[in-house]
Amino acid sequence: MRVAVTGGGGFLGSHLCEALLRRGDSVVCLDNFLTGEPRNVAHLRSNPAFRVIDVDVSVDADVPGRFDAVAHLASPASPPDYLRWPLETLAVGSRGTENALRLALRDGARFVLASTSEVYGDPLVHPQEEDYWGNVNPVGPRSVYDEAKRFAEAMSVAYRRTLGVDVGILRIFNTYGPRMRPEDGRVVSSFITQALMGEPLTIYGDGKQTRSFCFVDDLVRGIIAMLDSSEDGPFNLGNPVERTVTELAELVLDITGSTSDVRYFPLPVDDPVRRRPVITRAQERLGWYPDVDIEEGLRRTVEWFASRPQEEVAAGAAAIRGGQLDGAAVAGPGSRSLPKPMSASSAAADAPV
C-alpha cells in the first residue's frame, strides 16, 4: 500500500511513517516542518520505500503518483504551538484538510482524519462518547485548534456524503512518547523536562483535573487499524484510564528520581477539567485497545528524553517556564520564522527520497 502522511515529520506522524514502513508499505511524508522536526524521520530516509516532500499542505497536496491511503495528521497540536501559529492552525484544518481530501478523491484512496478530543472542548459530559457534541468556546484562545478540527470533521463528512470519498475520522486523546519536543508545552514532556533539569514541575490549576494518557505505539496501532478498515467513525482513540495531573507529576518524579518540587499556577483559559474517552466503538469495530500502561510508557519516554543532549533539554525547560499562564503563547527553541509556502508540484521535484 502507498500511503501519504501529512504531518509525517511530527511526533505522531513520524511514528506512523515508521510503523507503516515496518510492515512493508510505501510512505510519502508531506510536511513543511513548522512544528515537526526533520530529525524525526532522518533514520527513515535510507529506506527506498520512504520519501519526504517539504510542502505546506494548506497550499497544495497534489503529489505525483497514485496513493491507496491518505492519513491527514498535519497541524500544530500543543497549546503553545497553536497559540503561536493561530492562522496556520486554522489554515491546515480547513484548506489543508480539503487539499488532503482532494488527493484521496483523485486516487480513490482511503482517507483518515486525525481529529482530536479537543472537539469536545471543556466537556459537560463525562466520560466522553463519540455522540457528545461538545462544549467549545468558538472565540476563546483555544478555538483556533478546537474549531479547526471540528471544521475538518465537517469537511471530511461532506466529502464522504457528496463525493463518496472513503473517509474515517479518529478523535485522538492525550498521546505521549519518544520524539515529543521538550518545549512543546504538553504536560508529559513538560514534567519530564523539568524533572530531568531539577526545575519545579509546573501544574496549572489545582492538579485535580484529569487526563487519559495513551502511549504513542498504542495510538499508532489504532490509526493503522483505521487505515485498513472501511469504518467511517468518528472513533475515540485513547487510554480510558483516567489520572489527575498531580498523579502524573508524582509518577514522573518517581521514575526520574528527581527531587524537584511542584508549583501551582492559574488554569489557562478554557482548559478542560476532565478528559476520558469511551473507546467501545474502537474496541468493537477495529479490535483496538491500548496495551502499554502509563508506568511503562513513562519509563520509555523518560529514557528517550534522558538520551537527548543536555543543552536541548535545558533549553526546553527554559522555554516552558511559566509558559501557559492565562493561555499565553510561549517562545522557545521551536519558534522560527514562518516558512515560505511551497506547492507540492514544485517541492516534489527536489524532494529527497
For 9, the grid coordinates are 515529520
**Among 34, 8, 14, residue whose Cα is nearest residue 335:** 34
Tell me the torsion sign for CA atoms 43, 290, 23, 235.
negative
Phi-psi region of 257 (alpha: psi -120 to 50; beta: other; left: phi over 0): left
The cell numbers describing 59, all together, are 497550499
Which residues are part of the catalytic machinery?
Answer: 145
Q: How is residue 39 written as a grid cell?
A: 530529525
* Category of 200 on φ-ψ map: left (φ > 0), alpha (ψ -120 to 50) or beta: beta
Q: What angle do CA 27, 30, 33 make, to 5 degrees?
A: 130
Q: Which residues pair with 210 in a beta bridge?
A: 244
Number of Cβ atoms within 10 Å of the Cβ of 44: 18
Residue type, 331: A
Contact 208, 50 (CB under 8 A): no
Question: Kindly report the CA angle at 185 between 170 and 224, in degrees rounded to 5?
Answer: 25
Q: 196 near 307, Cβ under 8 Å?
A: no
Amino acid present at 275: R
Residue 335 CA to residue 333 CA, distance in Å, equals 5
Measured between alpha carbons, how far is residue 120 from residues 2, 78, 184, 220 in Å? 32, 16, 22, 22
The total number of residues shown for the chain amounts to 353
